[in-house]
Each structure stands twice: as structure tokens, then as C-alpha cells.
């Protein structure tokens, strides 16, 4: 549910990033799933299904409370479809949004997207032109 304030001329959205997760079941009804470990924008993370788990890389989370700047996500999340549990399974070399991911031969790859300004500033900076690879170890 969007918490909004409506005035005569503007619509101000107070919260735009959520940790809510839903799954459409066999009866075509939405089922509430466990919340993500951290709110993550649905349009700015990348995901891949691997061994009955959904792996999510990067994205944006809630804005910084003081600066109000966008905060990028630097974790790799796993949602195990067998246990219906979330895990944080890794950290990226830097926070990133709008990246691309792939999986091949036991390795998770990510490339392109926009990275953060550095360890002390999670706001977006430049578009990256690198590819990273890591051995993907999932929780059972």
C-alpha cells in the first residue's frame, strides 16, 4: 500500500521502496511471502533463478534520512523457494543499481549499471563498464 499525501496540485509519495514480497499461487491468488532483508526497488535490481532460489543483486533502498539522497544496495540476496527464507549471501565490490546478472558454471556475474560514490557516500555516481564474477554459494 502506498502512503501518499494528495494536495490540490501535487501528489507526494512518502514511501516508494518496499520490502513486501508476494507470490501468485496455483489458484491465482496473491500470497504474502516473508519480507526482504532490506527494502529494494523493483526496477533497479537484477535477479536470476538458480537452483530453486531467486538471487537478487544491487538496487536502491530507502533514501538517506539526512541527505535525502538515493542509497544504492551492495548486498546479494537469496530467496530459497524450498524453505521460503531470505538470506544475505554476499557483498558486491561496491553498491550498484540497474546492473545485469548472469549465472554460468557455478559463477554469478554482474556487469554495467551505476555504482556508488564510494564507501562513505552511497549515492549514485558513474556508469560502470566492468564485469565481476564470484563463485555462487547458496544456502540450502
Confirm whether pTM is higher than 0.85: no
Taking a C-beta distance cutoff of 8 angstroms, is the pair 99, 112 a contact?
Answer: yes
Residue partners of 65: CB distance under 8 A and separation at least 6: none
Q: Identify whether the C-beta of residue 46 lies closer than 8 Å to the C-beta of residue 56.
A: yes
Q: Which of 72, 77, 73 is nearest to 136 (CA)?
A: 77
Q: Please answer whether residues 111 and 130 qualify as being in contact, where contact means their C-beta atoms are separated by less than 8 angstroms.
A: yes
pLDDT digits (tens, 9 = 90+) for 84-112: 999 999 999 988 988 899 999 999 999 98
Q: How large is the average pLDDT for residues 55-61? A: 89
Task: Write out the three cell numbers for 43.
Answer: 526496477
Q: Distance between CA atoms of 140 and 60, rounded to whole angstroms?
A: 27
At residue 7, the pLDDT reads 42
3-state helix, strand, coil split of the chain in percent (to 5) is 0, 55, 45
Q: How many CA atoms lie within 13 A of 102 on its CB side?
A: 8
Mean pLDDT (the chain) is: 84
pLDDT at 116: 80
Amino acid at each position: 500500500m502506498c502512503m501518499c499525501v494528495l494536495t490540490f496540485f501535487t501528489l507526494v509519495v512518502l514511501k516508494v521502496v518496499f520490502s513486501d514480497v508476494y507470490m501468485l499461487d496455483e489458484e491465482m491468488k496473491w500470497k504474502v511471502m516473508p519480507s526482504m532483508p532490506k527494502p529494494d526497488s523493483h526496477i533497479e535490481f537484477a535477479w536470476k533463478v538458480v537452483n530453486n532460489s531467486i538471487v537478487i543483486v544491487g538496487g536502491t533502498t530507502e533514501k538517506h534520512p539526512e541527505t535525502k539522497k538515493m542509497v544504492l544496495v551492495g548486498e546479494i540476496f537469496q530467496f530459497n523457494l524450498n524453505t521460503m527464507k531470505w538470506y544475505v549471501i554476499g557483498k558486491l565490490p561496491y553498491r550498484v543499481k540497474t546492473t545485469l546478472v548472469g549465472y554460468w558454471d557455478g559463477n554469478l556475474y554482474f556487469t554495467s549499471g551505476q555504482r556508488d560514490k564510494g564507501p562513505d557516500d552511497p549515492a549514485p555516481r558513474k556508469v560502470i563498464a566492468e564485469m565481476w564474477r564470484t563463485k555462487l554459494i547458496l544456502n540450502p
